[in-house]
Structures are given as structure tokens and as C-alpha cells.
Amino acid sequence: MTEFRAFHNTDPPQLLKLWHAAGLGRGAAECLSIDAFEVLIFSQPYFDPNGLIVAVENDEAVGFVLAGFGPNEEESALDYSQGVVCAVIVHPNFRRRGIGRELVLRAEEYLKSKGAVNITAGPSGLLSPYLVGLYGGTRPSGFLLSDPLAAPFFESIGYDATRSIRIYQRDLLGPKPPIKFHLVNIRRKMQLTISDDFQAPNWWWLTRLGRLETLHFQLVPKTGEGAIASATVIGLDLYIPKWEERVIGLTDVFVKEDERSKGYGQSLLLEIARRLQDELITKLEWHVEESNTVASHVALAVGYYQIDTGIVYQLVSR
């Protein structure tokens, strides 16, 4: 008989074992300690034990679901109308018994009891209260296609795929992209600045990305004007045991609106790659919404290639 209950303080060791046993694919960090779960999940100021529902048989955790909420427009507090099923895991020996479905149903009940009007499955973008640094690589981007059980599971319980995120990497040890002469002039006029005391833009950024090691890069005119392009890089040390190499993630890649389509995005990514290559980084990773064709073009133009896809699902029937 399976019991479903809220999170207990004694659960983390069993939840960690479930995480490792689940076969979540290339995008899930492994060889974690309980401390990683503590820092990145349980110590979040909005963590609610009722949103982490555990399936138990004979006093052993056999599955769990983790649910939370997105931010308000100011990114200063939670928006309880936006519910997110961040993770659902069932031990391989207990699958095909309806445990995963029941966990998701109970997560939906929890989210709706708090006011959720929209429920998505797969944390992504701003709708990622949990799993930053633990799943997806640079950032959570839905459930990855390299996590083979996710798509058929959610489609079978009333969710439709609504968004797709392309996951690109660039090998810093491989061939360099061909020189583009229109970028040479940009490099002459610009300089790359690096800051490790980047001020978090808001509470939501701080609670999630602020728990990871980050550096902020800006492409600044040598004549002294403000930055034209910028990006934040994130250390992905929790993935080293699985990927067996040092990979750095890029996020918050931005080019001033009136300076776009002039090569500044490409120049920024190339300059960041040059700097990180000197730090013995082997790969860079960047997540791009499939609908953002301009960013995808920039990624491909500077040597990135697609290695995975993230899918976000929306609850459409129940």
C-alpha cells in the first residue's frame, strides 16, 4: 500500500537516492550531496513542505513530486496563480503502478489550493522556482528529450507540449569558428569587462541564480559609453562528475535594442569564449527559446551546436 504525504525533515537522504536511481539523462546533476539539495531546494525562502509530496511504501520513499510557483511581474514575490510541477520521480522498481500519476494529481491539488490558475510541467525561464543548478545544465528548460520517460508520461496524463527550448554547446577545444571580418572592427572598438560583484537585478534572480557562482560580462565601447551587450556566466560544477569536463553556462544574454543585428551579440559570445578558454573551460552552454530564431542564428554563427531540447508542458484537461 502506497502512502502519499508531505515532506519530512528526515527525507533528504532517501530523496537523493531516488534522484540518482531515476535515470534522468544527461541534464541531471549526479554525485550530489544532501547539502546541494539543502542549498538549492530546501533553503529557498518560499520552500513549502506541502509542495514536496513523497510516495512511501514500508517506510521507504519510492517517489516524489516537487511543485512551486512563478514570480509576480516585479519579480519581488511569488505569483500563486502560476503553478509549476518542477520534478516527478518514481523509482524504476515501482513504475507502471500509477504512483507518478497520483503524485502529479496531488501536486495539482496543492497548486490549485494556493490559487494556481495555470499549471505547467517543467520549470523554465522565470517559471523555475526549483532545480536551478540541478537539472537542465545552465538553467532548467522544461523536461529534456534526453530524459526519455518525461514526454510520454506527461502526454498520457493530460498535458500538452507548448514550448521548446534549444540547448546549445560550443567546444572550446575544437576548431574555432571562421573569422568574420565585419566583427574585427567591433573588436577594435570594444572591450570586454568582467565583474564578480554583479548586483542581482531583483529578489527572484537572487534566490535562484544568486546561490551559484556567477560572473557578469559586458561589451563596452573603448570611448567610455555604457555597455552595448552583456551576459552572465554560471559555474556548472555539479555536472563535472557526470559530464567529466568543465562546462560554463551562459544566461541573461542581452544586446541593446537599437544595436541589434550589427554583430555585437556574436562579438560578445566570441570574446567570452576567448576569456574562458584561458581558464581551462572545455565547453560553453546556452539555452535559447525555439521561437527566438535570431539568437539561434547567432549561436550557430559562432560555433555552437544543438545537443538537447527542453519541452514545457501545459495542463489542458483534468
Q: pLDDT of the chain along its 318 residues, tens only?
A: 899 999 999 999 999 999 999 999 999 998 889 999 999 999 999 999 999 999 999 999 999 999 999 999 999 999 999 999 999 999 999 999 999 999 999 999 999 999 999 999 999 999 999 999 999 999 999 999 999 899 999 999 999 999 999 999 999 987 777 667 678 888 889 999 998 766 778 999 999 999 999 999 999 999 988 999 999 999 999 999 999 999 999 999 999 999 998 999 999 999 999 899 888 899 999 999 999 999 999 999 999 999 999 999 999 876
Measured distance CA(191)–CA(193) in Å, rounded? 6
The set of residues, in sequence order, having a beta carbon less than 8 Å from that of 55 and lying 6+ positions away, is 2, 3, 4, 61, 62, 63, 64, 90, 94, 99, 102, 103
What DSSP state is assigned to residue 124? B
What DSSP state is assigned to residue 223? T
Give the end-to-end CA distance of the chain in Å, rounded to a whole number.
Answer: 25
310, 123 in Cβ contact below 8 A? Answer: no
Measured distance CA(193)–CA(220) in Å, rounded? 7
Q: What is the pTM of this model?
A: 0.93
Q: Which three cell numbers stand for residue 244?
A: 567529466
Residue ranges of domains in the chain, CATH in brackets: 3-165 (3.40.630.30), 169-308 (3.40.630.30)
Q: How far is CA 255 from the centre of its chain?
A: 21
The set of residues, in sequence order, having a beta carbon less than 8 Å from that of 245 and lying 6+ positions away, is 282, 283
The values of phi and psi at residue 193, to 5°, are -110, 150
Pick from 210, 268, 205, 265: nearest CA to 235: 210
CA distances in angstroms from 230 to 23, 131, 192, 201, 293, listed in the order given: 36, 24, 9, 14, 19
pLDDT at 201: 85
Residue 305 DSSP SS3: strand
Measured distance CA(195)–CA(259) in Å, rounded? 22
Helix (H) or strand (E) holding 308: strand 305-315
Helix (H) or strand (E) holding 87: strand 78-90
Single-letter amino acid code for the residue at 240: I
